[in-house]
Amino acid sequence: MIRGPVFAANWKMNHTSRDAKTFMRTFLVQYARRPDRTVIFFPPALTLASVADALKGRQDILLGVQNIHWEAKGAFTGEQSAEMAKEAGATFVLIGHSERRHVFGERDEETQKKCAAALRAGITPLLCVGEKLEERERGETDAVVLRQLRAGTAALDPAAIGSMIIAYEPVWAIGTGKTAQPEDASAVHSVIRRELAVLAGDRTKETPILYGGSANAGNAAALISAENVDGLLVGGASLEPEVWASIART
Ligand code: PGA
């Protein structure tokens, strides 16, 4: 159940099971239960069990995986299904993260199949969209974001679209220390919000639209105060427990 702003930690390929235990010992002391917000961790799949174990008794903190395959099972070496993620304790999955798209060649059609597979398994897709620097410079930001949003949600029924989370993550801001200005993020979030209403009507009024890309303890407050910015998806700044706790308390 999602409440208030969403603070999502994308650990990418960082933190072993042992690291995660150490992290959680500090984090859980520094982040007391807050009913007015939602905190989600996306650890590496092999670290998930250790995080789930450390979070026993803290049902306020939720878990997700960073990727799934769209098939339920079969000969797909190296992959994991939505069902497997769910059984391991994940209730969310990142789909279409820019590193999946641009490092691993994931295409729009695959993001759609993955969103559909997640929804079938009862996991909430967190669909990431965002333009590259050259696309922004060519004035194509809205077009790219809309293309990715429409492709990821194609053929899903409106209720399903209404249950998703969207993250706007400009590629040029990820891991680069260059953050979008709150008003720039807000402008793109408004484009996303309008398109969600076209795709699925009123039920998307509350759809969380997160910002991601070099969010940190210094800029988190300004970003989440911007209109239509409903939370943050944080990579680098989520890896240190003290820093991440202070962002989650924003
Ligand atoms: P960053 O990553 O916070 O390190 O820029 C964000 C993300 O990729 O989700």
**What is the rounded average pLDDT of the residues 4-33?**
98
Provide the percentage of residues in the chain whose pLDDT is more than 70: 100
Q: Where do the domains of the chain lie?
A: 6-248
What is the average pLDDT score of the chain? 97
Residues 6+ apart with CB under 8 A from 198: none
Structure tokens at 129: 């969209």
Q: Is 189 a catalytic residue?
A: no
Closest by Cα among 165, 166, 167, 175 to 213: 175
**pTM of the full structure:** 0.97
> What is the DSSP track for 38-105?
EEEEE--GGGHHHHHHHTTT-TTEEEEES--BSSSSSS-TT--BHHHHHHTT--EEEES-HHHHHTS-
- Identified catalytic residue from 15, 69, 97, 189: 97
Find the largest Cα–Cα distance for the chain: 49
Please give the pLDDT value at position 190: 98
Please give the pLDDT value at position 16: 98
Q: Which CATH number fits domain 6-248: 3.50.50.60, 3.30.457.10, 3.20.20.70, 3.30.2350.10?
A: 3.20.20.70
The protein residue whose alpha carbon is closest to atom 3 in ligand 1 is: 235
**Paired sense of beta strands 61-65 and 165-168, if any:** unpaired
Which position has the token pair 């009862």? Answer: 122
* pLDDT range class, residue 1, cuts 50, 70, 90: confident
Structure tokens at 133: 């620097």
**What is the rounded average pLDDT of the residues 227-234?**
97
Please give the pLDDT value at position 249: 97
Q: Is 97 a catalytic residue?
A: yes
pLDDT tens column, 51-109? 999 999 999 999 999 999 999 999 999 999 999 999 999 999 999 999 999 999 999 99
- Identified catalytic residue from 106, 131, 169, 195: 169
Please list every protein residue whose CB sits less than 6 Å from any atom of ligand 1: 10, 169, 174-175, 212-215, 233-237
**What is the rounded average pLDDT of the residues 11-37?**
97
